[in-house]
Amino acid sequence: MKIGFIGLGIMGKPMAANLATAGHELVVLDRNADVVDEVVDGGATTLATPAEIAAAVDMVITMVPDSPQVREVALGEGGLIEGAKEGLLYADMSSINPIVSQEVAQALGAKGVRMVDAPVSGGEPKAIDGTLAVMVGGAKDDFDEMKPVLDAMASSVTYVGPIGAGNIAKVANQVVVALNIAAVAEAFTLAQKAGVDPAMVYEAIRGGLAGSTVMDAKGPMMLEGNTKPGFRINLHIKDLNNALATSHEVGVPLPLTAAVREMMTALAVDGHEASDHSALVCYYEKLADTQVRAGGAQE
């Protein structure tokens, strides 16, 4: 299939690479010209605007930071809506406000474009090895048609419900991940301050009920002091903002989510906005005047 892929960041670039490996013909676009050149050198082509891409392909995928960028790519000047032909498939794989997914789908639908919202979970490592989890909202027939393409980037592709349902699932996912990371950081800091090696605590509890995929992915990073981003603090703040906005719309208090969002905001102010979200441990280290990673008290 000829696929337009717009957004070649930490997640988008390896996702596009997996589509190319699966044999799809790619037409790519990103604001970073160097990244576009790199992907084109690997065999893709590029066009100047989303509208031009929409006119040239069978399916478009976007992987951009947030709701405003999706609106711009889909509905703005030179956007998909200007070049799309009737029947075009469009999967927005960004993590955005579910209400915006519904609004964009309605506008594109008037032009005959079939849209699903298909946000992902798994971070950069799973984007690279093609084992992302994808949660999809939209018409079931459109999901069935797109699923083979999504399978090339993921090990789990799940239909959740109508348009917007994918992003409802994603904000729920991000709530669970954020709270889990905070709990791991809190527990490790407690162990360190109480004089017990957090690495030994990790080994002792990871096989029991406290164990989780999040703990196994982020616990070792905390212990190593590794804040290289697989998923950045500023992006997780965006996702929790979307979770809180959605919760306010439907009348569901999210007190723990709000608390962790403020922790992440404090980290961003402290210079960690581009750090991995496992850097939540730095928030606790500062509060407790200690250091979880090997080496003792915080510098």
- Give the pLDDT confidence of 228-270 residue by residue, as tens digits: 988 899 999 999 999 999 999 999 999 999 999 999 999 999 9
Strands 114-117 and 89-92: parallel
Residues spanned by the domain of 23: 2-162
Q: Is residue 293 part of a domain?
A: no
Domain membership flag for residue 277: yes
Q: How far apart, in whole angstroms, are the C-alpha atoms of residue 90 and residue 114?
A: 6
Nearest to 53 by CA among 16, 22, 103, 100: 16
* 192 and 225 Cβ atoms separated by less than 8 Å: no
User: Residue 60: phi, psi to the nearest 5?
Assistant: -120, 140
Q: Decide which of 131, 162, 193 is a domain's last residue.
A: 162
Q: What is the mean pLDDT of the chain?
A: 95
Are 61 and 180 in a shared domain?
no
In a domain, 294, yes or no: no
Mean pLDDT of 25-37: 97
The neighbouring-strand residues paired with 133 are: 121, 156
User: Annotated catalytic, 170?
Assistant: yes
Indicate whether 75 and 189 sit together in one domain: no
Q: Choosing from 170, 228, 238, 286, which is the catalytic residue?
A: 170
| Predicted structure pTM score | 0.87
Beta-bridge mates of residue 157: 134
220 and 155 in a common domain: no
How many domains, in total, are found in the chain?
Answer: 2
- Which has the higher per-residue pLDDT, 195 or 122? 195
Average pLDDT over residues 43-71: 97
Shared domain check, 29 and 142: yes
Within a domain: 220: yes
**Predicted local confidence at residue 288, as pLDDT:** 97
* Domain identity same for 230 and 110: no
> Which of 104, 132, 162 marks a domain boundary?
162
> Which domain CATH number covers 20?
3.40.50.720
Reading the block at residue 249, the tokens are: 């719309």
Is 299 among the domain residues? no
Is it the case that residue 296 has pLDDT exceeding 50?
A: no
Residues 35, 143 within the same domain: yes
pLDDT band (50, 70, 90) for residue 46: very high
- pLDDT tens for 96-132 read 999 999 999 999 999 999 999 999 998 888 999 999 9
Give the residue from 136, 162, 188 where a domain finishes.
Answer: 162
Alpha helix (H) residue ranges in the chain: 12-21, 33-41, 50-56, 67-75, 80-83, 98-109, 123-129, 140-151, 165-193, 198-205, 213-224, 233-250, 255-267, 280-288
- How many angstroms separate the CA atoms of 222 and 131, rounded? 23
Q: Model confidence at 298, in pLDDT bands (50, 70, 90)?
A: very low
Do 119 and 135 meet the contact criterion of CB atoms below 8 Å apart? yes
